[in-house]
A and B are shown apart, each in its own frame.
Chain A
Amino acid sequence: MARVVGGIGASHAPSMEHIYDAGEEVRESDEWQPLFGPFKDVASWLEQLKPDRLVVIYNDHMDQFFLNAYPTFALGVADTYPVADEGFGARPFPPLPGDARLGWHIARSLVADEFDITICQELEVDHGVISPLPMVDFSEGEGGWKIPIVPLAVNVILHPLPSPLRCWKLGQGLRRAILSYEEDLSVVVVGTGGLSHQLTGPRFGQVTPDWDQEFMRLLAEDPESLTTYTYKQLIELGGTESVEVVNWLAMRGALPQDARPLVQAYYAHRIMGYGLQTFEVAA
């Protein structure tokens, strides 16, 4: 049977792509090392863990889904996920490998659990997936991507959004889906987005490091307490676009209660509170 062997919470942002693509020297500069250095620790942790699959809980930024029909939860059931053109030409990465069979199983399990997701046989993934992924898929490089993914998109853009409690429960449902899969696979669940950022209005560029670090502490020690926050509170604490943190909460819901934080890093820089947190699960 499949197992959940770890979790990763990571910010996603176009800036992470620009700096990654600028090369190792820029990544290791004084300005960016605080963000990219800890990702190396994640990569070496994963290299030991060698997960067979990554389930990536993220949000799209109107690169796949548009407002004509916006899904609340959408799950990929494809064997390959092309990189979306976000308006500047797609990044030069090969399509990401998927696992359609696992995707379909998760779809059935979630529906059995009364999560009526949108089922996607074709899905282009944007920076919600691929801005952190080159740093966590240790096999990326000349050989291309090697860990197949199953993407799960959450609407954090068009209100009403699924509540933080609902996202937590989605993670718990995802856990049941993985544990009930008959193939012997080890799975790491990834949640991307946040932390604090504000891209609209007079507060453009505001970050709130105290709240970001409190969020990471709560996610580790008392994740269920985060399910009681309303979106109004989350927006006031971290900014309009910071509500992406519910993707982390869903990730945490897929882990056992006693999962322990391992790599923890936080860097408030320019217009983003960048967070990175991995969870280890006892064998």
Chain B
Amino acid sequence: MELTQDYLDRLRAVQPHDLPGDLDLFDEHTATRGMRLNKAAYSLKDAHQRELFHHDEEAWMEQFGLTDEEKDLMRTRDWIGLWRKGMSIYVMVKLSGVTDTPLPEIGKQMRESGGSANG
């Protein structure tokens, strides 16, 4: 048998599954769902992109093919909504910087969110 038990055990363990509902994971589903939002927030590494964000947020968003729903989440600084749509915390931090949102404020919303992005 090519698919030995050892191999099958490794395959099963390689990625967490059945995590408790209040723990999440950045994986196939999150990464796929969040690609546009993550591209947008990642762009804020670049000082020119930050300038454009401050100057004309709508034009900044236009570059990334965001859906109307995603744009609304951006406009309303809905951190939980962005997280549920697959935005990684590591690029969310860049968005928090450009919007002057302290991390504890995002944390407060996270604690009150009541559920996983993968739920």
Query: Which A residues fall within an 8 A CB radius of B?
Result: 14, 61-63, 66-67, 84-89, 157-160, 163, 198-205, 230-232, 235-236, 239-241, 271
Contacts and interface: CB of A to CB of B under 8 A. Distances in A.
Interface of B: 10, 13-20, 22-28, 31, 35, 38-39, 42, 44-47, 50, 83, 88-91, 93-95, 97-98, 106-107, 110-117
A240 B27 CA distance: 12
Contacts of B50: 87
B45 A86 contact: yes
Given A86-B45, A87-B44, A203-B23, A62 B114 contact: no
In order of increasing CB-CB distance, the 5 nearest A-B pairs are A87-B94, A232-B16, A204-B110, A159-B27, A202-B22
Contacts of B89: 199-200, 241
Given A62-B88, A66-B42, A87 B117 contact: no
Nearest to B13: A230
Contacts of A205: 107, 111
Contacts of B38: 62, 66-67
Given A200-B117, A204-B107, A240 B23 contact: yes
Contacts of B116: 201
Nearest to A229: B13
A201 B112 CA distance: 8
Contacts of B45: 63, 84-87
B23 to A, nearest CB: 6
A14 B90 CA distance: 11
Contact of A89 (B27, B47, B115): B47
Given A62-B91, A87-B93, A158-B26, 18 more contacts: A62-B38, A63-B45, A66-B38, A66-B42, A88-B97, A89-B47, A159-B25, A159-B27, A200-B89, A200-B117, A201-B24, A203-B23, A204-B107, A205-B111, A230-B13, A232-B17, A240-B23, A240-B25
Contacts of A61: 90, 93
B97 A232 contact: no
A54 B89 CA distance: 29
Nearest to B107: A204
A160 B20 CA distance: 18
A240 B90 CA distance: 12
B97 A87 contact: yes
Contacts of B111: 202-205
A157 B26 contact: yes
A192 B2 CA distance: 38
Contacts of A67: 31, 35, 38, 42, 88
Contacts of A88: 97
A202 B114 contact: yes
A85 B15 contact: no
Given A62-B88, A87-B93, A87-B94, A240 B24 contact: yes
A200 B47 CA distance: 26
B14 A163 contact: yes
B14 A236 contact: no
Contacts of B18: 232
Contacts of A85: 45-47
A164 to B, nearest CB: 10
B106 to A, nearest CB: 8
A70 B39 CA distance: 13
B110 A200 contact: yes
B91 to A, nearest CB: 5
B94 A86 contact: yes
B31 A158 contact: yes
Nearest to A62: B90
Residue of A63, A87, A157, A198 with most chain B CB atoms under a 10 A cut-off: A87
Contacts of A235: 16, 19, 23, 25
